[in-house]
Structure 1
Amino acid sequence: MYYRDQPEESSYDKFRTYKIKKGDTLESVARDLGVEAEDLRWYHNMYCEIPDLIEADFKSHLKFLILASEKTIEERKEKTEKKNQKVSLASNYTLPFVADKINKEYQVNYTTVFGDEADTIEMKVSVKWLATDRNKYHLFEINRKDVQVNNKMPDTVMDELEAKTGEVLYPLKIVADESGKWIDIYNYDEIDNRWKEAKEAVLDYFEGEVAENYIEQTEYALDNSETLFDALASDFFLRTFFNGIYIGYTSSYSFQNEVFFPLEKEEESKFAVEQKIDLVLDESNLVKVEQKGDYVDTEGETSFEFDPWKGKFHALYFLDEYSYCIEKVNLECSIEYDEPIKVIIQIEPLKKEETQN
């Protein structure tokens, strides 16, 4: 066995090679070189000429086996080890919430389905940590822009009203607890003052009963911080991103949990889920947290006239391996009413070129 820096075949003169001897097999060479046979085949087949491809074993005419460089071997080894790297939790199997590392922009898409009708809302949302107090409550600033409905800018009276009044809320400052769950609105007075300034412009621009009713609803929502919190409880981004996933798990990295989500109008939908963390990082070196379970119909369970409604909840959170900050989320939940309802939420990090625009 020996290595040649300059093989006899000029087409392979830029590669590190092994000269195949009589009696050599793919398995025997792999064993002698201390590598996996599949790794030998993988690298050789990437760079060899088509007639020299290795299938089950060496072809009879093959004289040289192309070997990976030591650097390539090391990188592949590190990648393999990284792929099997176990996720580290804090004491008591708690998923750490490193709030001060959160300063990120996301592309956010909501698709809501009611019966045969479907609507999609797209927007860009930024989340920035501002401060943490001694009780481990965290202050965040939320901003959003470029809101589109069904791939176009708001063009109906209702859409325009929602967009105009929605601008009053941002920047929105919220408080999250140490589990990452949204629990309060911090800048209510600031929002209320913005509405007072914007209200006249809204009244000048929009007319009719629809506008008057919507403004009346907005006034009610902004009556005090509690009513505003209740109104924003149906905000899909806030409820998904600040869902309180940073809590204690079991030694198996999972537990049974209840999740509430604003799927039904003016009502919290309840789901019994299994919440778990994958033991190892995924192929992108991210920590995966999953919530998966079924709808709990408490009204149906207590009624003798109707079977309970059925539904599903499935959320996948992908977190940075070092900061545990949310990189992306895929969430889908549904209830099988007479008219089935479903919402699909996707949160992805904005690409650098998008953040610069």
Structure 2
Amino acid sequence: MSENLSNINLLEAVNVKLEPQGFKGIYGCMIEFQSESKMNFLKFKYSYEYLGNKNYSGHIFKINRFKDIYINDKSPQNFIEDISIEVSETLYPLEVQCNHSGGFKTIRNFDEIKKRWHKKKKSLLSKYKNESVIKYINVFDKSMSFEELFIEKMRNDFFLSLYFQPIFKYYTAFYKIESTLKFPIVGTSKQVCFKVNQRLDENHLKENEYRIIMDGEIEDERSLTDLEQKLDYPIYNSDSIEDKGNCQITYQLNNISKIIEGIYAEFNLNFGNTRKVVVKMFLLE
């Protein structure tokens, strides 16, 4: 912090509060999955619109996904990719409520989404008799059976999980705090816990720029074998300390509203086929 700033300004600067009133924006998004032998990536865009603060219980955002989706820089190339994209379109618009620290809280328009899905399901079943398509539809339909199941499904979305993390906090005079955060790095399995050092970049703060940096390691009750087998709960014990993986995440915030303008995240994993996941999300307009 620059020397001419008072203690009051210091306290204000490290107390990061989200003030998203009037926000509308479009984000470019990319997620990259790397194994030892290959890399696959997905690109698309989201629009975000701030809807308000419902009874002061948390911020609400309406999210839409653009139709153009690219897999390894190409439009969907096969039948299953087309179906999965068509099915997922029923999720949008999606209304997400977060708490005042920015953490994911709930989905507010489940009933509306469920109605869209029932209409789409009827249309798909009338068009396709392929066994693999019917199986895919049934799996998706199961996640729509109960609101709690659906919310958990959306909590496991990589972009929602990263965007709605509790980053709007008081970072103390030392510019940092320790947190335990969860990320969906094992597919549809239970999210994985990371012990994270969460800090404001002091050098950027001197220039009135807000950058939050997280460095963390997996600190989950499940062993490497549990995670390898995508188990939700610990089954296989380990007698030794295991290096399960780590993460490095950077958030770039607007210096006034504190709206997220960019996210860059790397997850390095010591289990499974995917050994590295890179997520990028940047405000385009």
| CA deviation string 1:151-206 (max 9, x = no partner) | 11222222112101111010101111111111101111111111111112212333
Structure-1 separation of matches of 2:11 and 2:22 = 17
Structure-2 separation of matches of 1:129 and 1:264 = 30
Instruction: Give 1:332's match in structure 2, choosing from 224, 247, 266.
Output: 266
Query: Does residue 1:318 correspond to 2:241, yes or no?
Result: no
Moved more, 112-121 or 182-191: 112-121
The Cα of 1:282 is off from its aligned counterpart by 6.6
Structure-1 separation of matches of 2:117 and 2:206 = 46
**Who is 1:63 aligned against?**
none
Is the partner of 1:108 in helix, strand or coil? strand
Structure-2 separation of matches of 1:95 and 1:201 = 47
Q: TM-score, normalised by structure 1?
A: 0.69
Structure-2 separation of matches of 1:338 and 1:191 = 33
**Who is 2:160 aligned against?**
238
**Who is 1:303 aligned against?**
237
Instruction: Give 2:210's match in structure 1, choosing from 277, 281, 287.
Output: 287
Instruction: Give 1:189's match in structure 2, choosing from 103, 111, 114.
Output: 111
Is the partner of 1:281 in helix, strand or coil? helix
Q: Does the C-alpha gap of structure 1 residues 340 and 216 become closer, same or farther in structure 2, counting only changes over 3 Å?
A: closer
**Who is 1:158 aligned against?**
80
The Cα of 1:90 is off from its aligned counterpart by 6.0
Structure-2 separation of matches of 1:245 and 1:346 = 17
CA contact (8 A) 2:51 2:60 kept: yes
Aligned pairs (5 A) from 1:161-310: 161-265=83-187, 266-281=189-204, 286-300=209-223, 303-304=237-238, 308-310=242-244
The Cα of 1:308 is off from its aligned counterpart by 1.7
Structure-2 separation of matches of 1:329 and 1:336 = 23
The Cα of 1:285 is off from its aligned counterpart by 5.7
Aligned pairs (5 A) from 1:12-23: none
Structure-2 separation of matches of 1:241 and 1:227 = 20
CA contact (8 A) 2:10 2:173 kept: no
CA contact (8 A) 1:328 1:347 kept: yes
Q: Does the C-alpha gap of structure 1 residues 329 and 283 become closer, same or farther in structure 2, counting only changes over 3 Å?
A: farther
Query: Does residue 1:96 correspond to 2:30, yes or no?
Result: no
Aligned pairs (5 A) from 1:19-168: 93-145=14-66, 146-168=68-90
Structure-2 separation of matches of 1:326 and 1:191 = 26
Is the partner of 2:172 in helix, strand or coil? coil
Q: CA RMSD in A?
A: 2.6
Q: Extract unaligned runs of 5+ from structure 1.
A: 1-80, 352-357
Identity of aligned residues (%): 24
Aligned pairs, number: 268
Structure-1 separation of matches of 2:79 and 2:239 = 41
The Cα of 1:224 is off from its aligned counterpart by 2.0
Structure-2 separation of matches of 1:165 and 1:154 = 14
Asked which structure has the greater CA Rg, the reply is: 1
Q: Does the C-alpha gap of structure 1 residues 163 and 107 become closer, same or farther in structure 2, counting only changes over 3 Å?
A: same
Q: Does the C-alpha gap of structure 1 residues 248 and 210 become closer, same or farther in structure 2, counting only changes over 3 Å?
A: same
| CA deviation string 1:320-352 (max 9, x = no partner) | 11111111110111211164522111011225x
CA contact (8 A) 1:299 1:308 kept: no
CA contact (8 A) 1:297 1:308 kept: no
CA contact (8 A) 2:106 2:151 kept: yes
